[in-house]
Amino acid sequence: MNSTLGTTTQYLDVTGGRIAYDDAPGSGVPVVLLPGMLEKRGSYRHLVPLLSAAGHRVVTMDLRGMGESSTGFTDHTPAAIADDLAALLAHLDLRGAVLVGSSYTGATVVRAAALAPERTGGVVLIDAFIENLPLNGFQKALFGLAAPLVTAFPGLWGTMQKFYYPATSRPADFEDYRAGLAAMLREPARKAALRGYLKGDSAPVGWCAEVDVPALVLMGDKDPDFPKPELVADRQTAALRGRKVMIEGAGHYPMASHPQAVADALLPFLAEPAGTGGSAR
C-alpha cells in the first residue's frame, strides 16, 4: 500500500497489534517522526520531502489505533507508544536516530530516548505536552468538555483543526487533510483508541531528567493549546538542557503549516555530531 508520503507502507508487529510506518532511504542522520494525538503520520507530509532532499533517512510512524496501524490496543499512553518506538528502532537497527515528537508524543520520544539511549542521537519536541504548566481552571473545563464531545462526535476533531491552524497559515491541502482525520475517527474500530488518547496523561513531568542527548524544542508562537507558548518552550528547554526555536505565526502543527521554517531549525541540529548538542549544552 502506498502512503500519503509517497513510500510503501510497512508494518511492525508489537505487543497488542501492529504499527504502520514509512521508511524513506537516505545516507544522512536517520530521523523518526511521530505525529500527535488523533493524527496520522501524514501530518509530516510537507516536512518529509525537505528532510529527504537534504539526504536524511526519514521514518514516519503511525500511532496505535490511528492511520494505518491496527486497532484493538488497550494502552494508548505516551509510555506505551515509546515501547513501540523503541521496538521500531531495534527492528530497523537505527543508530544515532533523532526522535521527533509532536504534541502528545513529545513525551513519547523523551521516554524512548531513555529506553534506547544506544540508538538515540537526539530528541526534538514540536509543540509538545511535557513539562507543561499546570492547567488553569478554564483549561481543565475546556479539556474536560472536549473529551466527551469528541468521543461522541468524532467529526468534531476535523472541525477543531481550524482552531489549531491560524487562518493565514493553513497549508493548501488543509481541507482535504482535516476531512481525512474526521473520516478516520468515525470508523467504529477507532473509537476505543480515541477514548484511550483523550484519557491519557499527555503531559508528564520529570521524564526529561532521564535523557542525556542533544535536544531541540520547536514551538509555534500562536499555539492556542498554550496560553504562554514560549514559557512552556522555556521549561522544556531547561529540563532537556537543549535549545529552542519559536516558529513565528505557527499554531499547533508547524511541520504542516510552516515546513520550511521547521526544516531550517531542524537541519542544522541534524548536522551536529551526535552527543554534542552544540553550544547550547
Confidence category of residue 275, pLDDT binned at 50, 70, 90? very low
pLDDT of residue 152: 80
pLDDT of residue 265: 98
232: exposed, middle or buried (C-beta count within 10 Å: 0-12, 13-18, 19+)? buried
pLDDT of residue 140: 60
Mean pLDDT of 237-250: 96
Q: Radius of gyration over alpha carbons of the chain, in Å?
A: 17
Read off the pLDDT of residues 74-130 as tens digits, 9 standing for 90 and up: 999 999 999 999 999 999 999 999 999 999 999 999 999 999 999 999 999 999 998
Q: Give the mean pLDDT of the chain.
A: 89
Mean pLDDT of 49-65: 97
Cell of 113: 530516548
H or E element: which one contains 189?
none
Residue 17 has φ and ψ, to the nearest 5°, of: 165, -150
Q: How far apart are CA 103 and CA 197, in angstroms?
A: 12
At 217, is the secondary structure helix, strand, or coil?
strand
Residue 88 has φ and ψ, to the nearest 5°, of: -70, -40
Q: How far apart are CA 194 and CA 192, in angstroms?
A: 5
pLDDT of residue 110: 96
Confidence category of residue 1, pLDDT binned at 50, 70, 90? low
Q: How far apart are CA 88 and CA 66, in angstroms?
A: 16
